[in-house]
Amino acid sequence: MKYFSLNDRTHNSSFENAVVRGIAPDKGLYFPEEIVKLPQSFFKELQNSDKFQIAFEAIKGYVGSEIPDADLKKIIETTLDFDFPVVPVKGNIGSLELFHGPTLAFKDVGARFMAGSLGYFIKKGNIGKVTVLVATSGDTGGAVANGFLGVDGIEVVILYPKGKVSEIQEKQLTTLGQNITALEVEGAFDDCQSMVKRAFLDDEIKKKRQLTSANSINLARWLPQMFYYFLAYKQLANKGQKLVFSVPSGNFGNICAGMLAREMGLPIDHFIASNNVNDVVTQYLETENYEPKPSIHTISNAMDVGDPSNFVRILELFDNEFHTLKNHLSSYSFGDDETRKAIKDVYTETDYIMDPHGAVGYLGLQKFLKDHPDYYGTFLETAHPVKFLETVEGVIKEKVEIPESLEGIMDKQKKSLQISSYEDLKGYLLS
Ligand SMILES: *Cc1c(COP(=O)(O)O)cnc(C)c1O
């Protein structure tokens, strides 16, 4: 499989090069030259296949021979080493729980797959040591730190805004040690982000280190997210109803992977992009006018994105045909008060506890189903409610149980370096 840049169709790249670079030299996102169409036999065998086989068949065409089958299978086994259940919530609504991984958010899958792929290419010896440099507002950092921990040839440097991530998130970033370094930045997430961007353009740093990014524009983080939809479909196929998925969206990587799965032949009828008040895409589908805005802080903070980077990939999937896109994608936006009320109502009615991101997904689904009662709807529960303890406990007025996997982390010693300027970051990367 070759990949082109969405800024320049004549540019082409191997999978390896695209994963190592993250983004094309012209700053375009990489996109596959062909969408893999899965054969009938794949769907016939689905119920008898395990999650590793399903994932392998789904992604193999995108990796080609660049990672040998045996190694790709090993990477997938590590990536999917936990469960992806669809839990019935009520009536024709289920929750696809994507939070059973080590850092309790869906980003574990992409981070682990990317660590495995990059680790393989380094071991093969074509590329030297790599520094993964990443800014986080919370979940990305933990998943990346955990996924890349102990991978030979990779050093991970994570920037996070001091005092602006939850206590659990900070522990996940700062207590691992080994090849992971956490830089605690005096400033906001946007400051972390702009320091990272500047470092990528800095020749002095580039002479000293091979930098790559681990955000969702990287193919190796984006593509494996299609697994969720195949694994959910296996559990939903016997419903005998049309299927709709509601995806709480920020940078639109997750939903775009779902829509890619659909183009590959997975029978999902419709998608809903559920947004908080950062509603660029909701507005776009109403007006056909794409207008980025500065992001607004909300309680579903992983979706506080004013200019979602992966949306161009969705447009490309539909050949930029607005009306075709609208037939397959709806989008709604909800404020924090509605989100809190949804958490409370669903808990009161069913005992099911949603995190603020899942709750936005639930709201979008509920709205769609009102006009389309013949569908079975699934919302993606993208993080465990315990990651947003204050909000969730404040709403349901009860303690949320802390999963076993997290016990222990709270007692570990935080280790971070404090920085307050780009010069500090540069000094660290050159030292
Ligand atoms: C990152 C994240 C999202 C948004 O996913 P995108 O792929 O960026 O749209 C939603 N929920 C949680 C909990 C996240 O961490």
Question: pLDDT tens digit string along 207-259?
Answer: 999 999 888 889 999 999 999 999 999 999 999 999 999 999 999 999 999 99
Q: What number is the average pLDDT over the span 346-374? A: 98
Whether 234 is in the pocket of ligand 1, judged by its Cβ within 6 Å, is no
The dihedral sign for the CA sequence 116, 414, 186, 308: positive
Whether 302 is in the pocket of ligand 1, judged by its Cβ within 6 Å, is yes
Q: Which of 144, 225, 228, 251 to mutate to test the pocket of ligand 1 (most atoms within 8 A of CB)?
A: 251
Place 138 in a pLDDT band, splitting at 50, 70 and 90: confident
In angstroms, rounded to a whole number, what is the distance separating the alpha carbons of residues 237 and 409? Answer: 38
pLDDT at 86 over 90: yes
Q: Which two tokens stand for residue 70?
A: 């045996």
Q: Which helix (H) or strand (E) holds 123?
A: helix 107-124
* Annotated catalytic residue, options 2, 74, 90, 107: 107
User: Cβ contacts of residue 41 below 8 Å, gap of 6+?
Assistant: none
The helix/strand/coil state of 135 is strand
DSSP character at residue 26: T
Task: Report how far ligand 1's centroid is from the alpha carbon of 252 (Å).
Answer: 8
Whether 216 is in the pocket of ligand 1, judged by its Cβ within 6 Å, is yes
Give CA 199 to chain center in angstroms. 23
Q: What domains are there in the chain, each with its CATH number?
A: 84-104+222-401 (3.40.50.1100)
Long-range pairs for 402-405 at CB < 8 Å and ≥24 separation? Answer: 403/104, 405/102, 405/104
Helix/strand number for the chain, H first, E second: 19, 14
Residue 149 confidence (pLDDT): 96
Total count of residues recorded for the chain: 431
Distance set, CA 298 to CA 159, 250, 277, 282, 376 (Å) = 21, 12, 8, 17, 29
Q: What percent of the chain has pLDDT over 70?
A: 100
Q: Is 341 a catalytic residue?
A: no
Residue 71 confidence (pLDDT): 98
Question: What's the pLDDT tens digit per position in 141-151?
Answer: 999 999 999 99
Task: Report how far ligand 1's centroid is from the alpha carbon of 32 (Å).
Answer: 22
Place 48 in a pLDDT band, splitting at 50, 70 and 90: very high
| Three-point CA angle 405, 410, 414, nearest 5° | 125
Whether 139 is in the pocket of ligand 1, judged by its Cβ within 6 Å, is yes
Q: Which of 249, 380, 391 to mutate to test the pocket of ligand 1 (most atoms within 8 A of CB)?
A: 249
Residue 112 confidence (pLDDT): 97
- The per-residue DSSP string of 353-374 comes to PPPHHHHHHHHHHHHHHHH-TT
In angstroms, rounded to a whole number, what is the distance separating the alpha carbons of residues 116 and 147? Answer: 8
What rounded mean pLDDT belongs to the chain? 95
Residue 357 confidence (pLDDT): 97
Strand-by-strand arrangement of the 8-13 sheet: 8-13, 3-5, 30-32
Residue 250 confidence (pLDDT): 93
Place 410 in a pLDDT band, splitting at 50, 70 and 90: confident
Q: Which two tokens stand for residue 426?
A: 């540069």
Whether 250 is in the pocket of ligand 1, judged by its Cβ within 6 Å, is yes
Q: What number is the average pLDDT over the span 24-36? A: 94
pLDDT at 345 over 80: yes
Residue 284 confidence (pLDDT): 98
DSSP character at residue 184: E
pLDDT at 407 over 80: no
Q: Which two tokens stand for residue 215?
A: 């955000």
Give the range with max mean pLDDT: 127-131, 393-397, 402-406: 393-397
Q: What number is the average pLDDT over the span 88-115? A: 96
pLDDT at 195 over 80: yes
Residue 27 confidence (pLDDT): 86
